[in-house]
Amino acid sequence: MLKTGIEGKASSVVDASNTAAAVGSGDLPVFSTPSMIALMEAAASRSVLPYLGEDETSVGTMMEIRHLSATPVGMKVFAESRLVEVDGRRLVFSVAARDESGKIGEGRHERFLVKREKFIQKSEAKKGHSYD
């Protein structure tokens, strides 16, 4: 059963693939904001998986973060999440990231519980439809 207090963790090492220059969010060789967000999402997503049915998963719907400090190539980065609100299918997490020197980011992340097959079917149904 999902309840507040569930915590998650994820980690990575800053390398050429997750820098701002590599992902296009800037041109510097430092850990990118999109990569930090992905790490925070991974921590939150993984934390609730053991509480879901085989046909369920969660999808990210909102991220509100501050990237506080740059991390150079070669350093380890860590993300932590804590489930702070459960409102039906809506899950709200407090998220934070740090490197080996200290805090590099913080914020709030929202996810929704979905049925895997139904979600994929709805997504696939968009093919061939243009609303331009």
Question: What is the 8-class DSSP label of residue 72?
Answer: B
**What pLDDT was estimated at residue 132?**
67
Q: How much is the pTM?
A: 0.94
How far apart CA 59 and CA 111 sit, in angstroms, is: 5
Domains of the chain by start residue, with CATH: 7-124 (3.10.129.10)
The residue among 79, 81, 37, 44 whose CA lies nearest residue 59 is 44
Instruction: State pLDDT tens for residues 94-119.
Output: 999 999 999 999 999 999 999 999 99
| H or E element in which residue 45 lies | helix 33-48
What are the tokens at 77? Answer: 């980065």
Question: What is the 8-class DSSP label of residue 4?
Answer: T
**Amino acid, res. 98:** R
How far apart CA 40 and CA 63 sit, in angstroms, is: 9
How far apart CA 98 and CA 60 sit, in angstroms, is: 21
How far apart CA 24 and CA 101 sit, in angstroms, is: 25
**Amino acid, res. 12:** S
Ranges of the chain with pLDDT below 50:
none
**What pLDDT was estimated at residue 128?**
80
